[in-house]
Amino acid sequence: MGTRARPSLHPGAWWLWALSLGTAATRTTNPLLLALLIAASAYVVATHRTPAPWSRSYAAFARLAFAVLLIRLLFAVALGSPIPGTHTLFTLPEIPLPHWAQGIRLGGRVNAEALVFAAYDGLKLATLLICVGAANALASPSRLLKSLPGALYETGVAVVVALTFAPHLIADVRRLRAARRLRGRPDRGLRGLLQVGLPVLEGALERSVALAAAMESRGYGRTAHVPARIRRTTAALTLGGLLGVCAGTYGLLTAEGGTYGLPVLLAGVAAALAGLRLGGRRLLRTRYRPDPWGARAWLVAGSGTAVAALLALASARDPDALHPGVVPLVAPTLPLWPAAAVLLALLPAFVVPQPHHTTEEPS
């Protein structure tokens, strides 16, 4: 059993930092600023991720982002684009469609303006995916779920159990397939799947029954009595807060909702937090070794929030710099103060100590 390494930062701070960078990416289509966001997140991940298995997800998200960018370009080539252009690159054979499919084109002329617009749009989504990948690579999912509010305790426990059992299932499959190969028995095909899958499911069922018995013996699920008035208030605040968060997020992600997006989002977050706080009263439990939210967590979360706020401000004041034109086709330029704002995303690389490469004890 290895030495348990205490996390140097609250996992929620990493998620707030990464989601703020993703929000900043939605405010611009400038490829230079998006490249800066990707480089900043990649540098922080390279310097602060641990050898844990979940920290390898950044490469998977980067490959997914590259695939999304390619698919967006392929759609622009195959299905055409409403962006007019004068720089024709090549012409594909056009497939005639019936009259009810007006507005859709298969093949035809492909111009540079349409491809550049598709590349800008795809790069924005790719940057958002890479930022989410950075959060997955930096924040331990199990510790993040353990930090959930009391009202979400049962959900967090269920997800933690699922995340804990998944590696055991994979290890069981590999062990049984290796044993069958050593005995000269088939481990592929339908027959091999049935003869390997049944023991795996049997072992999973036994572990589930043992876990249920252990949780019942420790009083899991015991709740306190809460008046009906508080329960109704909790439900109203939580539901209204979540609706406000959805509406505010939609407003922030669209150019038309920039005026109402932030106030509605803040009101929704406040209502949801109040509902979660009231909902936590029905749980009679204590938290073992909670992750502290210290000054470094505030700096990390604040740096990401500052990047998102400054890019939103730049998008409102100087939209041409953050959204390069494609008709006529012009080369993108790097706006100075928005680029300096993006560099604030590098703050976690300097204020958070680098993790020690030790093996974490399973919790």
Q: What element of type H or E holds 187?
A: none
The Cβ of residue 3 has, within 10 Å, a number of other Cβ atoms equal to 10
Closest of 169, 158, 164 to residue 215, by C-alpha: 158
Using an 8 Å Cβ cutoff, are 240 and 271 in contact? yes
**Helix or strand or coil: residue 10?**
coil
Alpha-carbon separation of residue 7 from 137, 183, 192, 291 (angstroms): 14, 44, 42, 8
The Cβ-side half-sphere exposure at 294, using a 13 Å CA radius, reads: 9
Q: Are 244 and 265 in contact (CB under 8 A)?
A: yes
3-state helix, strand, coil in the chain (%, to 5): 70, 5, 25
- What pairs with residue 108 in β-bridges? 92
CA distances, 123 to each of 82, 100, 118, 272, 300 (Å): 19, 32, 8, 32, 25
Give the distance, in angstroms, between the CA of residue 118 and the centroid of all CA atoms in the same chain: 23
Q: What 3-state class would DSSP assign to 114?
A: helix
Q: Do residues 136 and 61 touch, judged by C-beta distance below 8 A?
A: yes
Instruction: Measure the CA–CA gap between 34 and 161, rounded to whole angstroms.
Output: 37
Q: Is the dihedral of CA 35, 39, 40, 45 positive or negative?
A: positive
The residues pairing with 92 across neighbouring beta strands, listed in sequence order, are: 108
CB count in 10 Å sphere of residue 138: 28
List of the chain residues with pLDDT < 50: 1-6, 358-363
Is-contact 331 45, C-beta < 8 A? no
**336 token code pair:** 């100075």
Supply φ then ψ for residue 217, to 5 degrees: -70, -20
* Closest among 85, 80, 78, 71 to 121, alpha carbons compared: 71
Q: Please report, for residues 27, 75, 201, the alpha-carbon distance to residue 187 in angstroms, rounded to integers and kept in the order given.
A: 51, 40, 16
Residues paired with 1 in a beta bridge: none
Position 360 scores a pLDDT of 44
Q: Which residues pair with 249 in a beta bridge?
A: none
pLDDT, residue 173, reads 76
**In this predicted structure, what is the pLDDT of residue 34?**
94
Q: How many CB atoms lie within 10 A of CB 104?
A: 9
| pLDDT score, position 242 | 84
Query: What residues have CB less than 8 Å from 129, skipping those under 6 apart?
Result: 61, 64, 65, 68
- DSSP-derived 3-state class of residue 95: strand
Burial state string for 174-210 with b = 16 or more CB within 10 A and e = fewer than 16: eebbeebeeeeeebeeeebeebbeeebeeeeeebeee
- Answer for the pair 47, 335: CB distance below 8 angstroms, yes or no: no
